[in-house]
Amino acid sequence: MVTKKNSANIYHLLRIAKGYQVKELADELRITPAYVNAIENGTRFPSTRLIKDYSQLFEVDEELILNFSRESDASIPFENILFRLLKMICK
């Protein structure tokens, strides 16, 4: 599970990669900006429905999101995690 220390979680990276601001993403997902921030900070974990909504909005497989969030490690530099994510998405 993503920890609070890990600001480079899959949800944060997907939002950045697609160019969404927090408010824009919150509106698209029908949640509050505070909830988006909590997910990205690792203090909350999205529901199954919300993971499905993320995967549809960002056009990635739900399993990719779940596997990536399970494997997140706060000691890995942000750039390395972003590069790994981009490799997965841009096959």
pLDDT digits (tens, 9 = 90+) for 29-87: 999 999 999 999 889 999 999 999 999 999 988 988 887 776 555 556 667 767 777 77
Mean pLDDT on 14-39: 95
Count other C-beta atoms under 10 Å from residue 42's C-beta. Answer: 20
- One-letter amino acid at 51 equals I
Assess if residue 2 is contained within a domain: no
Give me the domain span that covers residue 50: 10-89
Assess if residue 3 is contained within a domain: no
- Number of domains observed in the structure of the chain: 1
User: What CATH number is attached to the domain comprising 26?
Assistant: 1.10.260.40
Assess if residue 1 is contained within a domain: no
Assess if residue 40 is contained within a domain: yes
Closest by Cα among 83, 90, 91 to 13: 83
Assess if residue 85 is contained within a domain: yes
- One-letter amino acid at 29 equals L
Assess if residue 80 is contained within a domain: yes
Higher confidence at residue 28 or residue 74? 28
- C-alpha to C-alpha distance for 90 and 43, rounded to whole angstroms: 29
pTM given for the model: 0.72
Mean pLDDT on 16-35: 96
Q: Are 25 and 36 in contact (CB under 8 A)?
A: yes
Assess if residue 68 is contained within a domain: yes
Given a cut of 80, whether residue 22 has pLDDT beyond it is: yes
